[in-house]
Structure 1
């Protein structure tokens, strides 16, 4: 997934765009105070890394305020159950349509891309030896931080048996500290062949 890093060699391409579309892109680039090339690169990167895969899953985008209201209106036990199951089942299904390996580092990168382009927030990953620190910054409150901790745990549990993260919750941040897991979840096929 990291093949789209900004330090990679670039290629010059030319495209035909309608004059109206080009004017809109130029105006948007000016509003965002970036070059037209940077804007188009950002749009295409988001499409390649996120949108084309999400289209296969038939997701419906919701405003952040709706998600915030749903999280706040949900009891903690029910929220824990929903978030964990969403991570374990739904996010696992998303990984199945993503063009990346299911190695631990790639799963963390997938999580970061999913959070960024899904509009949740930004994820920062730091690795020191075998210990990882994953920080999710968002604007949805502490209860949301807890929900995403359970979501992350469900997601990791769908791939590994020995994930034991430590969470630090804050109003607009979730910090996860964990060691790289080693024991993969055994598939039903593996269980039948033993």
Structure 2
């Protein structure tokens, strides 16, 4: 009876050792299924804010073409927040907070004119925002990204005109009417390094 008991214990020990060896030989993949960090969308919030102060740079001071000039800044008080893009408030922004950002385009009246013509390689044409092999039709046609020259901003009839790459088949233009103390605007704030306000909507 004792001998049979020892045989059973021996078999259990042998099976345990075998299973342990197999498990340790299988590579452990940590966080399988999670996206790579660079694929994760940065948090953002859509806010309504009041301009509390403006810091206007001298026109074209310390600017070297094709850098966007001038480098204005604005202090903003947050009046309303839509946290759809940051439900856990990772950005730590709250109603009543005052924040300061640079403006990609001036706080003065400005025009964003997409008129820098695209350049495609020889034998290619610009179509729907891309360079396409000339004479090729359909979804199987090879495409490539066009190249753009730089063009500095300039003054035109009281507006600072920013020349931007032409992404469509037509030249487009958007007017930013300018900011002043007390202006109320809608913007999207992203949690990215060196964030700048680009376009805004007056409310």
Higher helix share: 1
Higher relative contact order (CA 8 A, sep 6+): 2
Higher strand share: 2
Q: Same fold (TM over 0.5)?
A: no
